[in-house]
Amino acid sequence: MSITTNDLAKLCGVSRTTVIRALNNTGRINDTTKEMILQTAKEQGYKPDLLARSLAKGRTYTIGMLVLDSKNRYFAQMISAVSAEAEKHGYGVNINLHNNDPKKEIEKLRRMAAYKMDGIILSSINEGQEYVDFLRELDIPIVSVDNCIGEGIPFVDISQRKAMKGATEAVIAREYKKLVFVCPPIKGNPNENVYVHKKRLEGFNQVVSKHKKIKVDYLLDWSYLEQISKMDVPKDMAFVCTSDEIALEIMMLLKERGMVAGKDYGLHGFDAIDTLKYITPSLNSVNNNVEIVAHEAMKLLLKLIEDRDSVPADKRVIVPFSLIDGETI
């Protein structure tokens, strides 16, 4: 039979309230007493009754998270960061993937709501007012990250447009004469929420429009590698990519021709994924501070869980980004 908080109180010679304060790290309690209670709990193999805790507080202490996939290093890092942040506050994370399927996303959200998740962090493939209305009908706190869904759903991200402007300006500063903007999702799926990619395209266009002498080309569908394989790639050409994974695929393709990024052509990525530390030459990229995004998203979601009215429906949190100086431009 497992030990209870009443048992711990008797063993430690304190009240049950004091035990609960020590275990939950809340309220006023002497540090020595707290340490004694925690040590006794450890020695006795105390395990909290999470079901009782949930029933008492009307919560499951579980956060739902719905993203594209876990193979993409950006989302893998996001999942890891959200999980770490949730754990600090006593929450578990139920991870779901929609794999760019709008119907699957809706199905997964309904299921999470049915399982009474306390809140959801969502990187959505859907968008628009009808979808916003659907999310509101779920009657569960939701914070959007990465892709903006529409007015009425709190949102956390970097300024995608400004970040791409900064990346494009950095490339132009190295005196490349032709820029190729590579962003397959723009024409990849007509049903996909491509908010992030549209903002990055806007940032790119705002910069190149000021440099009339620079030639510009666009690769906006998933045949970009096939198209590049047929291109003449001179030293004054640079590829500006909307993800590091796309940039790395281009690097590998041109490596087969004996070409080196930063020496024989320019290459700039986006996301600063953690695997870049293994890549040579080091890739110029944009750090979108996924850990800070995760922290702010959890902070916002916890406020909503505590009090729905504490966060305006149109709340937007924009976190800082930075340019990663590599060797490929």
pLDDT digits (tens, 9 = 90+) for 34-92: 999 999 988 888 876 655 555 455 578 899 999 988 777 888 888 999 999 888 888 89
Confidence of residue 3 (pLDDT cuts 50, 70, 90): confident
- For the chain, the three-class secondary structure string (H helix, E strand, C coil) is CCCCHHHHHHHHCCCHHHHHHHHHCCCCCCHHHHHHHHHHHHHCCCCCCHHHHHHHHCCCCEEEEEECCCCCHHHHHHHHHHHHHHHHCCCEEEEEECCCCHHHHHHHHHHHHHCCCCEEEECCCCCCHHHHHHHHHCCCCEEEECCCCCCCCCEEECCHHHHHHHHHHHHHCCCCCEEEEECCHHHHCCCCCCHHHHHHHHHHHHHHCCCCCCEEEEECCCCHHHHHHCCCCCCCEEEEECCHHHHHHHHHHHHCCCCCECCCEEEECCCCCHHHHHCCCCCEEEECCHHHHHHHHHHHHHHHHHCHHHCCCCCEEECCCEEECCCCC
pLDDT tens per residue, range 229-284: 999 999 999 999 999 999 999 999 999 999 999 999 999 999 999 999 999 999 99
Q: Is residue 1 pLDDT above 80, yes or no?
A: no
Distance separating alpha carbons of residues 325 and 283, to the nearest angstrom:
8
pLDDT tens per residue, range 286-323: 999 999 999 999 999 999 998 888 888 889 999 999 99
Mean pLDDT of 109-136: 92
Q: Exposed e or buried b for every residue in 94-113, given b needs 16+ CB within 10 A?
A: bebbbebbbeebbebbeebb
% of the chain beyond a pLDDT of 70: 95
The structure's pTM equals: 0.80
Q: Residue 89: its pLDDT value, please?
A: 83
At 170, list the tokens.
Answer: 């950095």
pLDDT tens per residue, range 177-227: 999 999 998 887 767 788 999 999 999 999 999 998 999 999 999 999 999
Q: Residue 135: its pLDDT value, please?
A: 94
